[in-house]
Structure 1
Amino acid sequence: MRKNRILLYTVILIISVCVLGACHEKKTSNVRRVAYIARAQADSFAAWLANAVKEEAAKYPNIKLEVFDGQASDSVENSLIENAITNKFDVIIIQPNNGESQRPYAEKVVKAGIFCITTNARIAGINGASSVDADPYEQAAVNAREAVKQIPQNAKVVVLKGPPGNFHADERRKSWQKEFFDKRPDVKIVGEQIANWNKDEAMNLMEDWVQANDRIDAVIAMNDNMCAGALEVIKGNPKYAQTLSYGVDGTAEAVLLIKEGLMTSTCLQSAYDLAELLLSTTDKLLSGAEKEINVDIGNPLVTKENADKYIEMHKKAGAL
Structure 2
Amino acid sequence: MKKKLIVLLAITLIMAMLAGCTSPANNGAGGDENGETVYRVAYVARTQSDSFAAWLANAISEEADKYDNIIIDVFDGQASDSTQNSLIENAITSNYDAIIIQPNNGEAQKSYAEQAVAAGIITITTNARIEGVQGASSVDADPYEQAKVNADVALEQIPQNANVVVLKGPPGNFHADARRDSWQKEFFDKRPDVTIVGEEIANWNKDEAMTYMETWVQANSKIDAIIAMNDNMAAGALEVVRDDSNFAGMLSYGVDGTAEAVLLIQEGVMTQTSLQSAYDLATALLDTSNKLLTGAETQIDIDIDAPVINSDNVEEYVEMHKRAGAIR
Task: Name the TM-score, length of structure 1 as normaliser.
Answer: 0.92
Q: Is the 8 A contact 2:32 2:38 kept in 1?
A: no
Q: Is the 8 A contact 2:31 2:38 kept in 1?
A: no
The residue number in structure 2 matching 1:291 is 298
Q: Is the 8 A contact 2:31 2:37 kept in 1?
A: no
The residue number in structure 1 matching 2:208 is 201
Moved over 3 A (4+): 23-29
Q: Determine which of 273, 295, 298 is the counterpart of 1:266.
A: 273
Structure 2: which amino acid aligns with 1:319?
Answer: A
Report the Cα distance in structure 2 between the residues aligned to 1:43 and 1:159, rounded to whole angstroms: 19
Structure 2: which amino acid aligns with 1:185?
Answer: P
| SS of residue matched to 1:289 | coil
Structure 2: which amino acid aligns with 1:228?
Answer: A
Report the Cα distance in structure 1 between the residues aligned to 2:161 and 2:224, rounded to whole angstroms: 9
| Residues 1:279 and 2:279 are matched in the alignment | no
Q: How does 1:100-119 map to 2 (within 5 A)?
A: 100-119=107-126
Report the Cα distance in structure 2 between the residues aligned to 1:211 and 1:168, rounded to whole angstroms: 30
Shift of 1:27: 3.8
The residue number in structure 1 matching 2:185 is 178
Q: How does 1:72-221 map to 2 (within 5 A)?
A: 72-221=79-228
Report the Cα distance in structure 1 between the residues aligned to 2:243 and 2:232, rounded to whole angstroms: 19
Report the Cα distance in structure 1 between the residues aligned to 2:263 and 2:63, rounded to whole angstroms: 25
Structure 2: which amino acid aligns with 1:243?
Answer: M
The residue number in structure 2 matching 1:65 is 72
Report the Cα distance in structure 1 between the residues aligned to 2:132 and 2:226, rounded to whole angstroms: 34
Report the Cα distance in structure 1 between the residues aligned to 2:31 and 2:279, rounded to whole angstroms: 33
Report the Cα distance in structure 1 between the residues aligned to 2:186 and 2:262, rounded to whole angstroms: 23
Shift of 1:124: 1.5
Deviations 1:153-192 (A, max 9, x none): 0000000000000000000000000000000000000000
Structure 2: which amino acid aligns with 1:91?
Answer: A
The residue number in structure 2 matching 1:33 is 40
Report the Cα distance in structure 2 between the residues aligned to 1:150 and 1:65, rounded to whole angstroms: 44
Report the Cα distance in structure 2 between the residues aligned to 1:27 and 1:211, rounded to whole angstroms: 66
Structure 1: which amino acid aligns with 2:132?
Answer: G
| SS of residue matched to 2:108 | helix
| Residues 1:222 and 2:234 are matched in the alignment | no
Report the Cα distance in structure 1 between the residues aligned to 2:32 and 2:241, rounded to whole angstroms: 60
Report the Cα distance in structure 1 between the residues aligned to 2:115 and 2:50, rounded to whole angstroms: 26
Q: How many residues align?
A: 298
Identity %: 70
| Structure 2: runs of 5+ lacking an equivalent | 1-29
Task: Name the TM-score, length of structure 2 as normaliser.
Answer: 0.89
| Structure 1: runs of 5+ lacking an equivalent | 1-22
Deviations 1:254-291 (A, max 9, x none): 00000111000000000000000000000000110111
Deviations 1:94-128 (A, max 9, x none): 00000000000000000000000000000112111
Report the Cα distance in structure 1 between the residues aligned to 2:319 and 2:45, rounded to whole angstroms: 26
Greater Cα shift, 37-46 or 234-243: 234-243
CA RMSD of aligned residues (A): 1.2
Shift of 1:29: 6.4
Structure 1: which amino acid aligns with 2:182?
Answer: S
Structure 2: which amino acid aligns with 1:129?
Answer: A
| SS of residue matched to 1:305 | coil
Shift of 1:28: 5.8
